[in-house]
Amino acid sequence: TLDLNTMSTDIWARWLLNGGTWNYTEIPVHYPKEYLQAVQASSVLACIFCILGLFVFVAQLYTLPKGKRFLFTGAFQLLACTWLCIMIAASIYTDIFHKDKEQGWYGASFILAWISVCLTFISCITYFILRKKTA
């Protein structure tokens, strides 16, 4: 039988503990593929938007006129984690997967995803308010 100590499932694979080592196995076939791909794509998009947001911030730091706000960087942060990508991925994953499981939990990464939503929203607001120093 599989329990919390011998099985772990994420959005990419299922891992089974066998003889002291974790072995990769495919995601179960009963998982809805369309929803799983939506969660995977949203997670990858969140990473891409976060990296682009960092590059946009550095570019705006050198090209933005003094006294102007970092609106474009804030928009990338807003798209990346808060409203678009991580929120969609976590919501779909919560609603669709593991409904029939009586044991288990979503894990630390799931909790960190929701914490990152809050922190990224704060970061986004900071970029919207922040102005490039005039002197």
**Local confidence band at 80 (pLDDT 50, 70, 90 cut-offs):** confident
Q: What is the pLDDT of residue 2?
A: 57
User: pLDDT band at 81, cuts 50/70/90?
Assistant: low
Residue 7: in which H helix or E strand, if any?
strand 7-9
Mean pLDDT of the chain: 78
Average of per-residue pLDDT across 102-108 = 63
Higher pLDDT, 32 or 131: 32
- Domain boundaries of the chain, sorted by first residue: 32-134
